[in-house]
Structure 1
Amino acid sequence: MTYAEAVEWLFAQSRAGGPRGLSRILELLQLLGHPQAELPAVHVIGTNGKGSVVAYLEAAFKAAGERYGATTSPHLLDFRERIRTHLGLIPEAEVVRFVEWAQGQQFHEPVAFFDLTTALAFRHFASLGINIAAIEAGVGGLLDATNALPWVRATVLTNIGEDHLETLGGSLEGVARDKAGAIRTGVPVVTGAEGIGLEVIRGIAAERAAPLFVLREGSPLFDLPVQPSLQGRFQRQNARLAAAVLRLLGYDEPVISTGLSTAVHPGRMQQLTYQGIHVVLDGAHNPPAARALVEELEGFHLVFGAFPRKDYRTILQTLLPKARSVRYTYAARGALRAEELLQAYPAPYFDHPLEALQHAVQSSQQDGSPVLVTGSLYLVGEVLRLLEEQSATNPLPTETIR
C-alpha cells in the first residue's frame, strides 16, 4: 500500500449514518492497547480559534524543549499536518502501517475518518513517549473522539458560535452544552466565551468543581508579553488563552513569549503576493470567523468557495458589504457548485480555483484592493497546492509566500 492509497482509504471511512458518540474511538483505542492512557494533554475546544491556540501551545512546548504532540484539522496540503510532534510530521510509513492494521480489524460498527485519525495520533504520541500534547477537538466536545482522553491537564473553550448548529443541538445553548460537556472534574478551564455560551460553561464548570478562568482585559493570567506572530486582531484573544494555559501549566515567561511570537498556522490570514497583487488566504467557514475576518480588511476582491453543510449564505452576507467584486469557485470534493452559490448572490463561477484567483487579480489591478480567498480551509489548501505546483513548473519572480 502506498501513502496516497492509505490516505484515500482513511477519507473514505464514515460512521455510515450512525449516531455521534465515543464507542467507535474507544473500541479502536482498546484494540491498540490504550495508547492514550499515559498522554497528558491540553484539550482545545470551541467554534473558532482552536487551531491557533494549538499553534501557540505547540510553539511554546518546542521552546521549552518538550517531547510534545499536537493535532489540528483540517490539513492544507498533506494529511500528516494533522499529527505533529517535536520530531515533525507523522511519517508516511506510520500512516500506512496504521491503515493496514485497521483494514485487518473487525469493528463492531463502522469507524469514521476522525475516529481513525485520532487513534492514529494517540498511538504515534505513545510510541514517542510524548509528555505533553495539544489536542484540537473536531465537532463539539462531549461526544467528540478527542474526549476519549483520560488525562487532561487543562481545557480551553475558545468561544461558542454559530457552527454545526444542527449537529450540536440547534441553538447556541445546545452548542455550548455539547462543547462544555468535555469539561473534566477538577480540571482548570480557560475560556474566551461570552453570553449564553459563558453562562452554560459557568454552570457545568461549577457542577464539576473545575476552576474557571474567563478572559478579561487587564488580568495578569491573560497578559500578552509580546506581539503574537499570527495575523489579525482576533488572534490576540487566541494568544491570551494560550498564554493563560501555559501559565497554569507552570511554564515561565520566556517560554511563553517565544511561543506567542514564533507560532505558525498557515491558512489563517496568510499573506502572499501573486502576480504583484496582495492576496489574503483565510479559512473562515462560519459566521463568527467571517465577522472577525472582515474587521481586518477595508475592501477586497472576493474568491469564495464553501460546503453545503456550512451557513454559507450568512458568511456571504457578512463578506459582501466590503467586497468590491465577487467570484465563486469549487472549493474541493463535495463543495457547492454554481447553482447553489448563485442563489445566494449572482457572481461569476469558476470550476478551477486558480482561474478564479486570476480573475480577481485582474480586478485588483484596477484599484489596488487585495484579493481575499475564503469560505473554506479546503479551498485555501487547494489554492496553496495549485500555487506550489505552478511555481514548481513555471517559477514567477513576482510570486512570494510569507
Structure 2
Amino acid sequence: MTPDSNWPDYPWLYGRTRAGRERGPGGARALLDLLGRPDAAFESVRVIGTNGKGSTCAMLEAGLLAAGVRVGRFTSPHLQRYEERIRVGGAELAPERTATFIEWAKEQAPDAAFFDLTLALACQVFAQEGVEIAVMEAGVGGASDATAALTDVRAVALTNVALDHVATLGPTLADIARDKAGAARPGVPLLTTATGEALAVVREVAGEVGAPLFTPDTHPDLFAVPYPPRLSGPHQQANAALAAATLRTLGHPEGVEAALNATLPARLERFEAEGKTVWVDGAHNPHAALALAASLPGGADVLLFGGLARKDTAATLEPLLGLAPGRVFTSPGDPATPPEELGARYGGAAVRDVEEALALALARTPPGGTLLVAGSLYLAGAVRGLLDRSGAGR
C-alpha cells in the first residue's frame, strides 16, 4: 500500500460519528469479538473522570515504563495526529497500522462508531505487540462508555467529577458521578481523588458493586507523593496522587518517581514566540478553566479562546475573563461557538481562522508579555502546530 493524499483514509474514520447511535459498550464489544477478543490478551487500567484523565494516563504510562512493564496507552482526543491516541512502549502507532485497520473496517464494520473503532484498533495493536498493561482513558462517562467493554480490568482510577456532558450523562452532579462510578467492578480496586457530593455517590456505588474503594482520606500513604509533579498547576497534585496510588496498587511503586516527571502536551505548556510567552492549555469545560485560572495567578495580557458549541462556553470562559484584558476569539472546529458572538458579548476581536487569530493575538501581546490559549484541545492542537512550524521555542 503506497501512502498518498487518501492514506490512511482519516475522513472516512472521522465520519463514523456516534450521532443517532445508542451509547454504551455494546458496539465496542461487538467489534472486539469480531477481532477475536484482543482485549483478553492484556490487563487494563481504566481512567475515568471529568478532567485530568490525560495527565493521569501520561503519569501512569511513564511509571509503568520505568517499572519495566510493556505498556500501552489509549487516550483521546489527539492534538495533531490521530496516532497520538494509541501508544506502545511510549511510541505512537505507525500510520500504516491505521491504514490497514481502516480498510478492514470499511469491509467488516462500516457502521461502527469512531470511538469504538479506535478502541478496537488499540486493543488489536496491544494484543499484537505483547502489551502487559494498557492504560485506557474513557471517552465520556464510566458505565456508559465504550471502555466498559474491556475484559481484564485490574484497577479503575477516577480523577474527579464535575458538570460536563450533561446531555449525555445526566443533568446533575450526582447523575454524572453515578455513571462514572459505574466503571466499578466487583473485587477490582476503585481509586479516586473525587470529593464532596461526587465522592459520596462513588462510595455508594462501590459498596453496591463490591469494589474496594481507595481515597486519600482512607489510604493517605497510598496517595502520598514525595514532591510536586513536573506538570504545571496545583490541580496536577491530585492527578499525581491518583497515579501514584494506582501504580502502588498495581504492584509497581518503583514507577512513582518517573510518573511525577511525566509531561503531556497542551497542559499549561509554555512556548516562547516573538519575544513573548505563550501558554497553551486544553481547558474546555468550567472545572478545567477554574483549575487553569488558579494556575496563572499572574494572569496574561491576551487570551486567545475558542470553544465547541456543544460545550458550556459561557461557564468555561467566565473564570478566564479576569486573567487577560485583551481577547481574541476564534473557531477551534465545527461546530464551534461563533467567535463573533463571543466578541460582541465579552469584548474582543473575532477571527474564525485559527492561524490568523494567533497572529493577531501575538501582535496584541506586548513585548515580553504573555498570551494564554485555551477553550478546546482542538484549538490547543492547532496552535501547537502553528507554533512548532514558526520555530517557537519551549
TM-score by length of 1: 0.93
Partner of 2:11: 8
Partner of 1:260: 260
Measured against aligned partners, the alpha-carbon deviations of 1:357-402 in whole angstroms (never above 9, x if no partner) come to 2333333316x541100000000100111223333xxxxxxx302x
The residue type equivalent to 1:363 in the other structure is R
Measured against aligned partners, the alpha-carbon deviations of 1:289-340 in whole angstroms (never above 9, x if no partner) come to 0000001112211000010000110111111122221110121233222344
Q: Does structure 1 residue 400 correspond to structure 2 residue 358?
A: no
After the TM superposition, which of the residue ranges 323-332 and 182-191 deviates more from structure 2?
323-332
Provide structure 1 residue ranges, at least 5 long, that are not aligned to the other structure.
Answer: 392-398
Q: Does structure 1 residue 102 correspond to structure 2 residue 95?
A: no
Partner of 1:182: 183
Check the 8 A contact 2:48/2:156 in 1, yes or no: yes
Partner of 2:50: 47
Aligned to 1:70, what secondary structure does the other structure show? strand
Q: Does structure 1 residue 383 correspond to structure 2 residue 383?
A: yes
Aligned to 2:295, what secondary structure does the other structure show? coil
Q: Could you tell me how far apart the structure 1 residues matched to 2:35 and 2:364 are?
A: 54
Aligned to 1:365, what secondary structure does the other structure show? coil
Task: Output aligned runs, 1:14-93, within 5 Å.
Answer: 14-86=17-89, 88-93=91-96
Q: Could you tell me how far apart the structure 1 residues matched to 2:369 and 2:218 are?
A: 33
Residue 160 of structure 1: how far off its partner (Å) = 0.3
Check the 8 A contact 2:86/2:92 in 1, yes or no: yes
Task: Output aligned runs, 1:334-345, within 5 Å.
Answer: 334-342=335-343, 344-345=345-346
Q: Could you tell me how far apart the structure 1 residues matched to 2:90 and 2:277 are?
A: 34
Q: Could you tell me how far apart the structure 1 residues matched to 2:201 and 2:67 are?
A: 34
Partner of 1:279: 278
Partner of 2:292: 293
The residue type equivalent to 1:250 in the other structure is G
Alignment coverage as a number of residue pairs: 389
Partner of 2:119: 118
Q: Could you tell me how far apart the structure 2 residues matched to 1:206 and 1:113 are?
A: 34
Q: Could you tell me how far apart the structure 2 residues matched to 1:338 and 1:56 are?
A: 35
Measured against aligned partners, the alpha-carbon deviations of 1:57-116 in whole angstroms (never above 9, x if no partner) come to 000111112111001111111100000011611111111111100101156xx3211010
The sequence identity of aligned pairs, in percent, is 45
Q: Could you tell me how far apart the structure 2 residues matched to 1:234 and 1:20 are?
A: 30
User: Which stretches of structure 1, 4 residues or longer, exceed 6 Å deviation after superposition?
Assistant: none
Aligned to 2:102, what secondary structure does the other structure show? helix
Q: What's the C-alpha RMSD, in Å, of the aligned pairs?
A: 1.8
Provide structure 2 residue ranges, at least 5 long, that are not aligned to the other structure.
Answer: none
The residue type equivalent to 2:227 in the other structure is V
Q: Could you tell me how far apart the structure 1 residues matched to 2:131 and 2:8 are?
A: 28
Check the 8 A contact 1:302/1:372 in 2, yes or no: yes
Q: Does structure 1 residue 225 correspond to structure 2 residue 226?
A: yes
After the TM superposition, which of the residue ranges 37-46 and 221-230 deviates more from structure 2?
221-230
The residue type equivalent to 1:382 in the other structure is A
Q: Could you tell me how far apart the structure 2 residues matched to 1:362 and 1:351 are?
A: 16
Q: Does structure 1 residue 310 correspond to structure 2 residue 280?
A: no
